[in-house]
Amino acid sequence: MGLSPRPWDAVIVGAGPAGCHAAWTLGKLGYRVLLLDRAHFPRWKPCAGGITVKAAPYIPMELQELFELTIDRALLAYGPERRTLIRTRRPVAWTVHRESFDAAHLELVGGIESVSIQQGCGVVGIEEDADHVRVLTESGPVTARAVIGADGVESVVTRCLPGWEDREFVTAFEGEAWLDTAEEELPVLFDLRSFPGGYGWAFPKRGRCSIGGYVDRQQEQRPRDAYASFVGSWPELASCETYRQRGFRLPVGGTRRQLARGRVILAGDAADAVDPITGEGIAYAFMTGHLAAQTVHRFLARGEGMEGYTWRLWRRFHGPFRVARKLAELLYNHPRTGFSIIFRNRILCSLFVRVVRGELGYVGMLARAALSGPLLPFYHRRGARIVVDLS
Ligand SMILES: Cc1cc2nc3c(=O)[nH]c(=O)nc-3n(C[C@H](O)[C@H](O)[C@H](O)COP(=O)(O)OP(=O)(O)OC[C@H]3O[C@@H](n4cnc5c(N)ncnc54)[C@H](O)[C@@H]3O)c2cc1C
């Protein structure tokens, strides 16, 4: 493969947001890093491309130029007849095209002197001994002092750690469409009626739109039919010409399994870092990429064991996601009631937006909702179209 036979400080498997950010962090600290991906970039990644502001501290300035639209309003609906338009004074998210965003991210990381990149290089297994890890690739083995598995939802690296068989998944069905509608006519859309056990979405970008659905795997369903009826029911989407349609898996956050052991550590989708209610994973990929790299740094520099990482991720993500799993079950099994209670209420909408912005966790959201209990009826709104201004 033409790469140094000398052991690398770290081999990172997968060059999505988690792997690139981990490589960026370790590379800036001067470590010799090999970043491997089985794909050649730009590669297609099924994703609506909504990046919430939680990720902002981790995204280099150069990549912020690739943001397509700023999201400061969203249409929450139960079919086109029942809708709430939420406006926020500060942005909640941005949209990106994952192909170009991820390719630019990789190029940026490639600019760091101590980072080497190998594309088109699939990893097939990992062998660990006391001193090193051997990463087995389709082009031969490489050796490292530590390995970060950032190889996405179908991760190979995750299989070296116990409990991977118990991972839970949801299905996401997505199509890409050319957008005729002017951007201002179509805000980001979430429709609780269209996909049983989940929600339908539309994320507009410049001239294009990702349309899809997020569905609990337990539900009896035919996502392709649900997709067609979702698109058909919204006049703003019905005229869109879809050019790519497929179903994918997403890991469900709230996992209790081990996410680091010995010299191997996981980040992003490989570590199940996905919000069970929204399906959001990009911001968590950046965050876990960062935390994994810091953990590897402490291991390489001071010999500190990496096992504490599992607990850190539990406290920050997976513990709160456990609560979110229960909320998702309630909301998606009773979508009409859920819509009427939450998305017709100014206080509850505001709390939910604060969670998405990362200002509040799910537990904090529930506590505040309980404290606001007696006030909630006064903030309930009726009508086909409501604008809620949130600070
Ligand atoms: C339909 C859909 C819509 C979504 N929409 C959103 C959204 O709007 N907002 C949001 O925040 N999240 C969204 N997500 C989730 C988001 O896409 C992921 O959480 C995020 O991409 C995870 O980043 P990652 O770096 O962990 O993995 P990935 O971005 O999946 O990158 C993993 C990389 O590893 C490589 N790889 C895999 N296996 C190997 C191997 N064996 N050897 C070498 N390389 C390998 C892959 O080629 C890939 O480049 C969506 C997901 C889906 C499926």
CATH number at residue 135: 3.50.50.60
Quote the tokens at residue 104.
Answer: 């630019």
Task: Examine the domain organization and report whether 272 and 311 are in the same domain.
Answer: yes
Task: Examine the domain organization and report whether 258 and 291 are in the same domain.
Answer: yes
Q: Residue 237, class by beta-carbon neighbours within 10 Å (0-12 exposed, 13-18 middle, 19+ buried)?
A: buried
Of the candidates 254, 229, 227, 101, the one whose C-alpha atom is nearest the C-alpha of residue 172 is 227
Chain position carrying tokens 């994994």: 292
Q: What is the pLDDT of residue 194?
A: 87
Task: Examine the domain organization and report whether 298 and 189 are in the same domain.
Answer: no
Tally of residues, the chain: 391
Supply the CATH number for residue 212's domain: 3.30.9.10
Residue at a domain's end among 206, 228, 251: 251
Residue from 20, 47, 124, 205 to probe ligand 1 pocket by mutation (most atoms less than 8 Å from CB)? 47
CA of 130 to the centre of ligand 1 (A): 31
> CA 305, CA 302: separation in Å to the nearest integer?
9
Residue 231 has pLDDT above 80, yes or no: yes
27 near 114, Cβ under 8 Å?
A: yes
CA angle in degrees (0–180, nearest 5) for 95-98-222: 90
* Domain assignment of residue 42, given as a range: 8-47+98-167+253-323
Does residue 279 form part of some domain?
A: yes
Q: Please state the domain count of the chain.
A: 3
Task: Examine the domain organization and report whether 279 and 293 are in the same domain.
Answer: yes
Task: Examine the domain organization and report whether 365 and 244 are in the same domain.
Answer: no
> CA 92, CA 356: separation in Å to the nearest integer?
7
Task: Examine the domain organization and report whether 344 and 381 are in the same domain.
Answer: yes
pTM: 0.95
Q: What is the pLDDT of residue 185?
A: 65
152-200 pLDDT, tens digit per residue, is: 999 999 999 999 999 999 988 899 888 766 555 678 999 999 888 899 9
Residue from 282, 287, 321, 357 to probe ligand 1 pocket by mutation (most atoms less than 8 Å from CB)? 282
Task: Examine the domain organization and report whether 314 and 264 are in the same domain.
Answer: yes
Q: What is the pLDDT of residue 345?
A: 83
Task: Examine the domain organization and report whether 180 and 285 are in the same domain.
Answer: no
Does residue 343 form part of some domain?
A: yes
Does residue 61 form part of some domain?
A: no
Q: What is the pLDDT of residue 130?
A: 82
Reported as a pLDDT band with limits 50, 70 and 90, residue 344 is confident
b/e code 20-39 from CB counts within 10 Å (16+ = b): bbbbbbbbebebbbbbbbbb
Does residue 55 form part of some domain?
A: no
